[in-house]
Amino acid sequence: MNKELFIRQIPLFASLSQEACAQLLKKLKTLDFQKGDIIVQEGDRGDSLYILESGLVKVVLGHGTDNPQVLARLRAGDYFGEMSLLTGEPRSATVIAAVETKALVLHKNELDELMKQYPSMALHFGRVLSKRLKDTSRLKTDRELYTIIAIYAEEEDRMARALLTVNLAASLVKETAKRVVVVDADGEAREVIQALNLNLPTSSVDGPDSYEDVLSRSDIDRFVLSHKSGIDFISIFHGASSRARTGEKDIAPLLSILKNRYDYVLINCASTLNTLIRRAMDHSDLVIYLTSTAPDHLAKCASTLQGFEDQFGYGSNKLMIGILEKGNTPLLSKDEIVERVKVNNVFFFAQDPYAVNSFLRTGYPFVFEYPNSILSLGVKRLARKIGQVSVGLALSSGAARGFAHVGVLKVLHAAGIPIDMIAGSSMGALIGGFYAAGVTPQELEDLVNSYTDRAKVRKTMYDLTLPKSGLAKGNSLIAMFRSQIGDITFERLQIPFIAIATDLRDGTEVKLRRGVVWEALRASGSIPMMFEPYYLQGRCLVDGGITNPLPTNVLVDEGMDIVISIVVNSVYARPTGPANPITSHGDTLLHSVFNELKGEISSPSDKPEQFKILDILFRTIGIMGAAIIEPQAKLADVDVRPDLSHIDWREFHRGPELIAAGVEAAEDALPAIRELLYERMKPEG
């Protein structure tokens, strides 16, 4: 690692003179920490600044107490200890290595010497730390916890609601390792109770006016039924003499008891909005409304949700729409649904009659028996959203270097790391879109390896045209896209996916998330001058790497809890091969075409500093992208960076090397990813 370049990326040292930076590097010491090592202790005297070279650390308030609080997680490029170092105050928190970690350390006496030698350094430190204090006061807090979740649907979707409630509960047990109970507030979903093979308790009090049901008691243990899937189950109608009268009772006391016993309480709400159901919704942290995309259903959904907002004061953060796919209803995008119902949280549940019938027959949740069915994937994705362990993957642009994304996906897939959303630019969009469509890592690797044949690269990339708006039409790329993923739409993808493009007319970033996927990939990878712009959804679109080469911000905006970035672009790239770097067959072909157009033949230049057209295109976009990437990478929880400095942006034929580099970088990052996931799954208390 080039330590000078690394140090200059840190705001504290960004403006140091070359001489001052050289002196700083001499004073920095490297320390290694094992997982669990305490780096600094809350309350201790601070005499050192730490800069993370690699690894992951947790900043913990109250470490060793009954209620420790994780304030932040820091990774490579982050630093800590600067406030205690300059003010002399005790450490405000404990910092613990979450995985194997390497840090550069600067002691107070050495910093003092540097500031005496370079007075401007002290002034710069003051400015940076003042801004850091302001930024710290604005740090994003964890979003509101969803403990009590009410699930509602109209009468015709009653069965689907009950099935999804139980399978969502089972997924929460699996995905979060937390305690989950299902409260049946419907009383009509007998099929589900029978499928679960639950033996319902009876009332201990006889007589037609008996009201010794679960809503009337504080000792509810005998009403709690345990299922082999790990979930508990309570029916509020067990032991009740009158369902109608039970529907007018208050469920709040029961929910209060359950909230103290369980991490998640899921309520299977009846379709009739009686007093009990209204009180259940009033005490819920989240209401999930299940509906189809039929126009009348969406209209009723919007009207009902408006009533919920008016009656309960719900904001959009407390409401979620679950779209039940049905064969006779239109397939709408998330944006179209949001526009109609005015709620931003939307999840899709595909049809899978085979999985559903199997559950009703065996009593074993389909999310366990058929974990990879598209219905199960949707339910598990919602469970991770509720459990705050949703994972978003941002894939950067980088031309040929984007093949390294395949190596990272191989490792994540083999390790069982769930991916809940993918956002990509240019080549990152291509790889991400293929994976979201169900192309496996092995199939992606086979595809990449097939391009070791440079003739195939030329055939796919260089379908040359008269250079009116681009050197290549891009039709060969489209043919390749369609051969792999067909005409699949965003709504049919296995993983939600967003491709980034740039509007050539106004220079704005465009998020593509509806329609046919291959069109979005063609637009996102339209390198200016290399390919003709692509016209889509009323816009003239070019390469997404121009405006957002690493769309981590898109994933943050979408509410992903853990964001992983894969950066394959770098401003420090150097060409390989001879002094004149442009000698590939593709460039020779373009050169000959230009000579034909000019009506003359000229010899290639032998000046080593000259670049030809493809290098200028790829390098210009790459350099622009690298400058934008750093602040975007800071938004990620884990930043994966394959070492690709020896491979040029145009060397598509070096796929095996690129994949190997991606594998190596992902394996290095895997402990940090697992730590972030599994730490959130630890039971509380």
Q: How far apart are CA 551 and CA 424, in angstroms?
A: 6
639-653 core/surface letters (b: 16 or more CB in 10 A; e: else): bbbbebeebbbbbbb
Decide if 263 contacts 147 (C-beta within 8 A): yes
Is residue 289 over pLDDT 80?
yes
Tell me, yes or no, whether 222 and 326 share the same domain: yes
Q: How far apart are CA 655 and CA 450, in angstroms?
A: 8
Higher pLDDT, 557 or 18: 557
Strands 79-80 and 48-54: antiparallel
Determine which of 298-302, 468-472, 595-599 has the lowest per-residue pLDDT on average: 595-599
Average pLDDT over residues 395-403: 92
Tell me, yes or no, whether 197 and 117 share the same domain: no
Q: How far apart are CA 642 and CA 669, in angstroms?
A: 10
Measured between its terminal Cα atoms, the distance across the chain in Å is: 42
Catalytic residue among 284, 376, 396, 426: 426
Residue bearing tokens 């063609």: 522
Residue bearing tokens 């690129």: 658
Tell me, yes or no, whether 29 and 176 share the same domain: no
Burial of 226 (0-12, 13-18, 19+ CB in 10 A): exposed
Decide if 435 contacts 422 (C-beta within 8 A): yes
- State the DSSP H helix or E strand holding residue 296, giving kind and residue range, or none if neither: helix 295-312
Q: How far apart are CA 49 and CA 121, in angstroms?
A: 15
Q: Which two tokens stand for residue 239?
A: 């032991």
Q: Which two tokens stand for residue 71?
A: 């304030």
Hey, which of 199-208, 296-305, 614-623 has the most confident mean pLDDT?
296-305
Task: Please report, for the domain that includes residue 42, its CATH number.
Answer: 2.60.120.10
Q: In 10 A of CB 597, how many CB atoms?
A: 10
Decide if 399 contacts 649 (C-beta within 8 A): yes
Measure Cα distances from 579 to 285, 389, 516, 583, 621 in Å: 64, 49, 43, 10, 22
Give the model's pLDDT for residue 615: 67
Q: How far apart are CA 155 and CA 272, in angstroms?
A: 8
Hey, which of 123-132, 291-300, 606-615, 646-655 has the most confident mean pLDDT?
291-300
Pick from 132, 147, 170: nearest CA to 12: 132
Q: Is residue 477 part of a domain?
A: no
Q: Rounded to 5 degrees, what are φ and ψ at 32?
A: -110, 140
Q: Is residue 468 part of a domain?
A: no
Decide if 36 contacts 14 (C-beta within 8 A): no
Pick from 125, 142, 52: nearest CA to 634: 52
Last residue in a domain, options 93, 112, 139 = 139
- State the DSSP H helix or E strand holding residue 634, giving kind and residue range, or none if neither: none
Is residue 654 over pLDDT 70?
yes
Q: How far apart are CA 621 and CA 397, in angstroms?
A: 9
Determine which of 63-67, 343-347, 609-613 has the lowest per-residue pLDDT on average: 609-613
Q: How far apart are CA 95 and CA 61, in angstroms?
A: 9
Last residue in a domain, options 328, 358, 386 = 386
Domain count, the chain: 3
Determine which of 43-57, 75-89, 402-416 has the lowest per-residue pLDDT on average: 75-89
Q: Is residue 615 part of a domain?
A: no
Give the model's pLDDT for residue 313: 66
Tell me, yes or no, whether 84 and 108 share the same domain: yes
Tell me, yes or no, whether 130 and 88 share the same domain: yes
Percentage of the chain with pLDDT > 70?
Answer: 78
Q: Which two tokens stand for residue 315?
A: 């904001």
Hey, which of 87-96, 388-397, 456-465, 647-656 has the most confident mean pLDDT?
388-397
Give the model's pLDDT for residue 613: 63
Tell me, yes or no, whether 406 and 355 share the same domain: no
Tell me, yes or no, whether 229 and 126 share the same domain: no
Q: Rounded to 5 degrees, what are φ and ψ at 262?
A: -125, 155
Catalytic residue among 543, 561, 639, 648: 543
Tell me, yes or no, whether 505 and 553 share the same domain: yes
Tell me, yes or no, whether 156 and 63 share the same domain: no
Output DSSP code: residue 571. Answer: T
Q: Is residue 209 part of a domain?
A: no
Give the model's pLDDT for residue 189: 57
Hey, which of 140-144, 460-464, 519-523 has the most confident mean pLDDT?
519-523
The answer for residues whose C-beta is within 8 angstroms of residue 323's C-beta and 6 or more apart is: 291, 292, 293, 332, 337, 346, 347, 348, 349
Output DSSP code: residue 315. Answer: -
Q: Which two tokens stand for residue 532?
A: 């003709």
Give the model's pLDDT for residue 477: 87
Decide if 47 contacts 104 (C-beta within 8 A): no
Determine which of 72-86, 87-101, 514-528, 562-576 has the lowest per-residue pLDDT on average: 562-576
Decide if 509 contacts 547 (C-beta within 8 A): yes
Task: Please report, for the domain that includes residue 294, its CATH number.
Answer: 3.40.50.300
The answer for residues whose C-beta is within 8 angstroms of residue 44's C-beta and 6 or more apart is: 90, 91
Task: Please report, for the domain that includes residue 656, its CATH number.
Answer: 3.40.1090.10
Q: How far apart are CA 359 and CA 348, in angstroms?
A: 20
Average pLDDT over residues 109-124: 77
Is residue 243 over pLDDT 90?
no
Question: For residue 346, what are the β-bridge partners?
Answer: 321
Q: Which domain holds residue 175?
A: 147-202+214-238+249-386
Residue bearing tokens 């550069």: 104
Give the model's pLDDT for residue 250: 78
Tell me, yes or no, whether 373 and 293 share the same domain: yes
Q: Is residue 495 part of a domain?
A: yes
Tell me, yes or no, whether 338 and 408 share the same domain: no
Hey, which of 43-52, 81-90, 110-119, 204-213 has the most confident mean pLDDT?
43-52
Q: How far apart are CA 481 and CA 254, in angstroms?
A: 54
Output DSSP code: residue 259. Answer: H
Average pLDDT over residues 341-369: 89
Q: Rounded to 5 degrees, what are φ and ψ at 160?
A: -60, -40
Tell me, yes or no, whether 156 and 15 share the same domain: no
Higher pLDDT, 68 or 550: 550
Determine which of 281-295, 603-617, 656-670 has the lowest per-residue pLDDT on average: 603-617
Is residue 52 over pLDDT 80?
yes
Average pLDDT over residues 215-234: 82
* SS3 letters across 341-406: HCCCCEEEECCCHHHHHHHHHHCCCHHHHCCCCHHHHHHHHHHHHHCCCCEEEEECCCHHHHHHHH
Q: In 10 A of CB 82, how many CB atoms?
A: 20
Higher pLDDT, 393 or 156: 393
Q: Is residue 290 part of a domain?
A: yes
pLDDT tens-digit series, residues 178-216: 999 999 888 665 656 766 777 665 544 333 333 456 676
pLDDT tens-digit series, residues 148-171: 999 999 888 888 898 999 999 999
Q: Is residue 635 part of a domain?
A: yes
Output DSSP code: residue 187. Answer: S
Give the model's pLDDT for residue 433: 97
Higher pLDDT, 320 or 215: 320
pLDDT tens-digit series, residues 577-610: 433 333 333 344 444 444 433 333 333 444 555 6
Q: Is residue 381 part of a domain?
A: yes
Q: Which two tokens stand for residue 135?
A: 């930024």
Percentage of the chain with pLDDT > 90?
Answer: 35
The answer for residues whose C-beta is within 8 angstroms of residue 147's C-beta and 6 or more apart is: 259, 263, 264, 265, 285
Last residue in a domain, options 354, 386, 418 = 386
Active site annotation includes 426:
yes
The answer for residues whose C-beta is within 8 angstroms of residue 30's C-beta and 6 or more apart is: 53, 102, 103, 104, 105
Strands 497-503 and 470-472: unpaired
Pick from 535, 336, 511: nearest CA to 424: 511
Active site annotation includes 137:
no
